[in-house]
Structure 1
Amino acid sequence: MAVKHFFCFFFLLLLSLTSAHAERRVALVIGNSGYANVAELKNPYNDAKGMSDKLTDLGFDVVTGLDLSLRDMRQTVREFIKKLDNADLALFFYAGHGIQVNGENYLVPVDAELSTHLDLDFEALPANLVLNAMEQSTKVNLVFLDACRNN
């Protein structure tokens, strides 16, 4: 009988520890609207702001970037990648211009100057930079790309 009580106690203790341990959730939210060299977009800034606020309310540790230059995008992504360690769930939301070339997706910063596809490696951020880091670090990943994507 004592063994039965021990296992019941152990099970209840384990259950309480599991539920007490909150799931660690991180998010990267980027919204680019104010482009200098291509058509400005009306919604991404506000959409990203709203998404960031809601995710924060839901308990996510959110890294937010609005109207980012390439340098700022890279710094923001780096900050997010550092937070992926030991996260249970990661979410990435991007709103803004995007480009796909040869099956590769790029996120366009507000200061990008794109004349040819050769400029992409120097002026845009490969989406896979974020996606690969998420896949390597977290159990569950959610990705929302709200991009005007042109070839």
Structure 2
Amino acid sequence: MQRNVHRWVAALAACLVLLVAPAAFAAERYALLIGNAEYEDAEPLENPLNDIDLVGEALERVEFDVTRVTDADHLGMLSALNNFTRLAEKAEDPVLFVYFSGYAVQIDGDNFLLPVDASGRTVTGLRNRSLPVSEITKTLRGLGKGLKVVLFDAAHENPFLTLRDIPEGLAEPKDAAGVHYAYAATPGTAYDYEGTPISAFASAFVDAISIPGIVLEDAFRKTGEIVKERSKGKQETWQSDADYGKFALSPKDDKVDEAEIAFYEFAALADNREAYDRYLGRYPEGIFASVAKRKIDLLARRFSGDREVSDEMPYLTVSNDRGDPCGRITFGDYAQDRRLSDVYKDGQLVLIDVR
């Protein structure tokens, strides 16, 4: 009898180990984020440092060990990749993310990420003083068998007008086996980010991965939809492979309010401080609260001289204070009996608050 009891206890212990193993021994997560903005031989960029701040904080919330590198020269980018390799190789089959925001070019079908000291005098010189994407691919393949994702937020136009032989946009990776690539714009295309403190790709990606339990393929699909909508179809994201094995960055939460997600997605499409404030007013402790607050902070840095640039989104309240089933329409802070077409243009984004 005692022997049977011991066997039963041992079997129960084994079952408990199996139950806790996925959580206890979950793959370690590492992310390398590079943001280059202050270029010496090209027009400085406004968004890269904000991009890696936003993306980095979002990845830290889902338990990534994040390494940030800003305004790196050629030697600095090589050093950052080497240091990241030494950090990640200590783990067994880690999940790896590499995110780059800045200028990148394609030369003879190969992609190169540009350091801040990249020279646009000759194509040969540019190639020799840039970080080839093939080097990143080679490095990641040597770091176990875990998921590897590379994000290029580099849809800028060619920054060197003297080098006319450089095609627009990035080329498709020649060998993407084992590595998932996601571009802010489809290969061979570029999009002007001028005047944007946060890139649409970074902003949308952070919004998507903040949804509890969302699998990565759905997160990238949602990212692409937001980017396309905000650019009015001028910018479309691209992926080398959309099969991420149903990998989710965070556990699913059955208590998530779908209405809150829809409300925030509308605010994200407007992408201005007023819209995010409206979200925080309704969901001060919501699942996107930290993202909304951070975006408000970053958008507040958008100035033109002494005058702040503001693209306020119209706000329409439909109230029903007197029990009128049709409600009473309020435009801004004052009530008027006017048609919507008198106030808003066709296709204009308007936040509608039904109370």
TM-score, normalization by structure 1: 0.88
1:54 aligns with 2:61: no
Amino acid at match of 1:91: F
Shift of 1:57: 2.5
Equivalenced residues, count: 151
In structure 2, what is the Cα distance between the partners aligned to 1:49 and 1:102? 32
Question: In structure 2, what is the equivalent of residue 14 of structure 1?
Answer: 18
Q: Kindly indicate whether structure 1 or structure 2 has the higher relative contact order, using CA contacts under 8 Å at least 6 residues apart.
A: 1
Task: State the Cα RMSD in Å.
Answer: 1.9
In structure 1, what is the Cα distance between the partners aligned to 2:68 and 2:95? 17
Amino acid at match of 1:37: D
- SS of equivalent residue, structure 1 residue 137: coil
In structure 1, what is the Cα distance between the partners aligned to 2:11 and 2:123? 64
Any unmatched runs of 5+ in structure 1?
A: none
Q: Per residue, is there more helix in 1 or in 2? A: 1
The one-character-per-residue Cα deviations of 1:29-78 (angstroms, maximum 9, x if unpaired) are 00111111011111111101221222222211111111111111111111
Shift of 1:4: 5.9
The correspondence of residues 105-120 of structure 1 with structure 2, limited to 5 A, is: 105-120=111-126
Is the contact made by 2:112 and 2:127 (CA closer than 8 Å) also made in structure 1? no
Shift of 1:137: 1.0
Question: In structure 2, what is the equivalent of residue 145 of structure 1?
Answer: 152
Amino acid at match of 1:146: D
Shift of 1:80: 0.8
- SS of equivalent residue, structure 1 residue 106: strand
In structure 1, what is the Cα distance between the partners aligned to 2:17 and 2:116? 52
Question: In structure 1, what is the equivalent of residue 98 of structure 2?
Answer: 92
Is the contact made by 1:31 and 1:49 (CA closer than 8 Å) also made in structure 2? no
Q: Point out the structure with max Rg over C-alpha.
A: 2
Is the contact made by 1:27 and 1:91 (CA closer than 8 Å) also made in structure 2? yes
The one-character-per-residue Cα deviations of 1:90-130 (angstroms, maximum 9, x if unpaired) are 00100000010122110001111122221134211112212
Amino acid at match of 1:89: V
Shift of 1:149: 5.9
In structure 2, what is the Cα distance between the partners aligned to 1:23 and 1:59? 11
TM-score, normalization by structure 2: 0.40
Amino acid at match of 2:56: S
In structure 2, what is the Cα distance between the partners aligned to 1:133 and 1:16? 32
Question: In structure 2, what is the equivalent of residue 27 of structure 1?
Answer: 31
Any unmatched runs of 5+ in structure 2?
A: 159-165, 167-355
Question: In structure 2, what is the equivalent of residue 66 of structure 1?
Answer: 70
In structure 1, what is the Cα distance between the partners aligned to 2:88 and 2:63? 15
Is the contact made by 1:84 and 1:134 (CA closer than 8 Å) also made in structure 2? no
Amino acid at match of 1:95: S
Is the contact made by 1:114 and 1:123 (CA closer than 8 Å) also made in structure 2? no
Question: In structure 2, what is the equivalent of residue 136 of structure 1?
Answer: 142
In structure 2, what is the Cα distance between the partners aligned to 1:103 and 1:82? 29
Q: Per residue, is there more strand in 1 or in 2? A: 1
